[in-house]
Structure 1
């Protein structure tokens, strides 16, 4: 088994970008990780990592070796999954990623409920608004919102979401209520990452360029600004629905609202969907359907 020594440590360092984080992942000391990687380099007579006091980077040879080792470890994990799945109890590692806010408010609590039912699972969940490479980064699935563009993934629709344009009663009292898309030119529209808002006009999608005094990539920040009467906002229902229900925000331009789009679970087409992942997807579908 000496040929395996250092492999897990190298893979962990490459994937975490740090000896310290690799040690934390593996549950060993940083010195142990460093020793094992150094011994592996000596055995291969090849430098796999560049080390400085500030960062760790992978050499070209190290990247090639890492990719091959990752495939071997994935195959080993798949073999172990096939055995544990035969026993009928979900266990082992499960990695997923989801957008930050929707992940915090909706997906993470569901994952916690799922884990409480199956405590032998080891879940790694990364909340990020970046679209990660599921194959390269070794994720079992990702939660994606809206329209999908990546046809190389298998997608399962879990639920729907609605986009609302809304503003506070105070803002509307001070600036008037828009009734047509053209009237948005005369209002302070709070912007996210895009310069336009999405609508449906006479049954056809239509993007309207808007402008305003605030731009931020956080939906929570934009909703807070709308609640404080700063301007009009367009956000998905999971941000604004409680405020709409309470009357703190007023829905606008409802007859131009775009059709609901999807909340999706996506996974690589070439990856075996293990029973535990399928069970989690069924749990998501049932829970989100009820909500």
Structure 2
């Protein structure tokens, strides 16, 4: 239900597609009703399947809260932590933490999902979502870890062909590489100016939903990218990329962790976020 397919759900539970499908068949046999409508492209719940899912989620949430209470008394963190992180940041910074954390806490399992798409933390049962940007007001718990400066960059080859922008307005004449998803609204960058943050509408010939692709395109001379400084610091130092408009850089993002509100804070989640904060603060 939460991952959109039996294959993805099985993978999350360490099951083969056949094993996951058999689990669904066993449930349908137990309840004497079809729970999911399946086609080659979609997976949707039947009315009974939706009721079963919603009630099962409440049971699981109650069990997780109980485990958190017990763990707070026992002093030994145990169980599963479901973690989401953006693609590039997740590969570079978050993924390397997981084996070290699990080695220090052998009773804990970490299930890491990497995606640049928006995730519904509550509905998807996520414990920790690492976030890079400007967090909006929400009912979620926000734990800031570090500021993450951003920078506009382009390759010397692109600048030799198209010229170097001297002001934010010049960006309108350039090919801007956009991080954008299907059905996204018009795209803009927010730059820091002496007058305050300025929202700049920008455009480009192509876009992608993976930030690492934008960096690769910029290195190939395809256009101007708006990237976290830590991701392109090495390329800047080596001269493979050039920083643009340093007097009016993109607004600094915040890196931190989003967590759902819960009556009892799960010790293993708190422990993981504390560990990540210590390890990652210096990366920015």
> Quick check: 1:185 aligned with 2:172?
yes
Counterpart of 2:217 (choices 216, 225, 234) is 225
Aligned residue in 2 for 1:159: 146
CA distance in 1, matches of 2:10, 2:212: 35
Aligned residue in 2 for 1:37: 27
Deviation at 1:56? Answer: 4.7
What does 1:196-207 align with in structure 2 at a 5 Å threshold? 196-207=188-199
Counterpart of 1:120 (choices 88, 95, 107) is 107
More helix by share: 1
Deviation at 1:214? Answer: 3.2
93-102 vs 20-29, which deviates more?
Answer: 20-29
27-36 vs 68-77, which deviates more?
Answer: 27-36
Q: State the SS of the aligned residue for 1:78.
A: helix
Q: State the SS of the aligned residue for 1:137.
A: coil
CA distance in 2, matches of 1:31, 1:215: 36
What does 1:238-277 align with in structure 2 at a 5 Å threshold? 238-277=230-269
What does 1:36-185 align with in structure 2 at a 5 Å threshold? 36-42=26-32, 47-52=33-38, 54=40, 56-185=43-172
8 Å CA contact 1:192–1:218 kept in 2: the answer is yes
CA distance in 1, matches of 2:261, 2:153: 39
Deviation at 1:276? Answer: 1.0
CA RMSD, 1 decimal: 2.6
| CA pair 21-233 structure 1, distance change in 2 beyond 3 A | closer
Q: Which runs of 5+ in 2 are unaligned?
A: 181-185
91-100 vs 111-120, which deviates more?
Answer: 111-120
8 Å CA contact 1:81–1:92 kept in 2: the answer is no
8 Å CA contact 1:197–1:210 kept in 2: the answer is yes
8 Å CA contact 1:22–1:33 kept in 2: the answer is no
Aligned residue in 1 for 2:280: 288
Question: Structure 1, residues 124-182: CA drift from partner, whole Å, max 9, x if none?
Answer: 12112222222222111211211112411110101121121122223333333222222
Please report the TM-score for the alignment, with normalisation by the length of structure 2: 0.85
Please report the TM-score for the alignment, with normalisation by the length of structure 1: 0.83
8 Å CA contact 1:85–1:276 kept in 2: the answer is no
Q: Which runs of 5+ in 1 are unaligned?
A: 1-13
| CA pair 141-181 structure 1, distance change in 2 beyond 3 A | same
8 Å CA contact 1:102–1:238 kept in 2: the answer is no
CA distance in 2, matches of 1:289, 1:31: 42
8 Å CA contact 2:192–2:251 kept in 1: the answer is yes
Question: Structure 1, residues 239-290: CA drift from partner, whole Å, max 9, x if none?
Answer: 3122112221111111101442201211122353211111111111111122
Deviation at 1:18? Answer: 5.1
In our comparison, the structure showing a higher alpha carbon Rg is 1
